Amino acid sequence: MKLIEVQNYDEMSKLASEIIIEQVQTKANSVLGLATGGTPIGMYQYLMKDFTQNKTSYEQVITLNLDEYIGLDKNNPQSYSYFMKEHLFNHINIPENQTYLPSAKSVHDEEAGRNYEKLIESVGGIDMQILGIGENGHIGFNEPGTSFSSTTGIVKLADSTREANARYFTKMEDVPTHAISMGISTIMKSRQIVLLVSGVKKAPILNQLFQTDVNENLPASILKKHPDVTVIADQEALSILKEKKGSVFS
């Protein structure tokens, strides 16, 4: 993993947007793996700004999101489908039928994961996957303990994940209990991965990520085995790692 240290959220967002813009400018029909959550919002804002100012075109781009809640309608403002329209798709020139999110009718919809895998394969695989990391180390919604060989499918959300995401819902009971998520092996097939880490809440997990061996209790640790991962982390996220003796900085 290559680590790029930045000052703050804004710098992380800008740099991540520049990496995506370069990807799209180099390969007009890029397949981008996208993420939701608080972390990538600033990056999406920079992409929109660049679209307005420089007209970078997304006409041939295909996007595949990491995950989606089960049980929320696409028009529910808390759904990731809605999030993506609101934060990116409605503001750039990507055709709607080239933007994909996994979706499952119910927690028993086993076909849904297989279909998403086939879809990813049919578009030639993901060129660049953007990732965030959960405070518990999850990537996508692959919670600690998930097999590294997992493929896209239905997952049960950890209590800590539901609590972390409760801020977007009126009450805890409204936070879905399950989601459909790209699997860990699916994510690992992406040709290039960019992991964004910002804020003091992510400092403990970022420290663990760099200090511990690859193991299934820390899903993001598998990224150490990928040949092309760039971690962009800000000072708050790096605060514990940097104070540790023997860290990557010593």
Q: Give whichever of 102 and 132 is closer to ligand PGA, judged by the CB atom.
A: 132
102 interacts with ligand PGA by CB under 6 A: no
CB under 6 A: which stretch of 69-77, 131-139, 175-183, 221-229 binds ligand PGA? 131-139
Q: Give whichever of 94 and 197 is closer to ligand PGA, judged by the CB atom.
A: 197
CA-CA distance, 124 to 78, in Å (whole number)? 30
CA-CA distance, 216 to 185, in Å (whole number)? 12
Closest by CA to 130, choosing from 26, 21, 5, 7, is 21
37 interacts with ligand PGA by CB under 6 A: yes
Rg (C-alpha) for the chain, rounded Å, is: 17
Residue 30's φ and ψ, nearest 5 degrees, are -60, 150
144 interacts with ligand PGA by CB under 6 A: no
Closest by CA to 132, choosing from 73, 220, 209, 207, is 220
Q: Which two tokens stand for residue 97?
A: 């039928």
Residue 17's φ and ψ, nearest 5 degrees, are -65, -40
User: Would you call 178 a catalytic residue per the annotation?
Assistant: no
Q: Give whichever of 22 and 163 is closer to ligand PGA, judged by the CB atom.
A: 163
Q: Of 39, 152, 190, 207, which lies in the binding site for ligand PGA, with binding defined by CB under 6 A?
A: 39
CA-CA distance, 115 to 18, in Å (whole number)? 32
User: Would you call 143 a catalytic residue per the annotation?
Assistant: yes
Adjacent-strand bridge partners of 196 = 232
Q: Give whichever of 39 and 186 is closer to ligand PGA, judged by the CB atom.
A: 39
* Active-site hit among 68, 117, 127, 143: 143
* Active-site hit among 138, 142, 207, 236: 138
User: Would you call 67 a catalytic residue per the annotation?
Assistant: yes
134 interacts with ligand PGA by CB under 6 A: yes
E-assigned strand segments in 103-244:
128-131, 153-156, 178-181, 192-197, 229-234
206 interacts with ligand PGA by CB under 6 A: no
CB under 6 A: which stretch of 68-76, 82-90, 109-117, 126-134 binds ligand PGA? 126-134
Q: Are 242 and 203 in contact (CB under 8 A)?
A: no
38 interacts with ligand PGA by CB under 6 A: yes
Q: What amino acid positions are annotated as catalytic residues?
A: 67, 136, 138, 143
Residues of the shown chain interacting with ligand PGA in the complex, contacts defined by CB under 6 A? 37-39, 132-134, 138
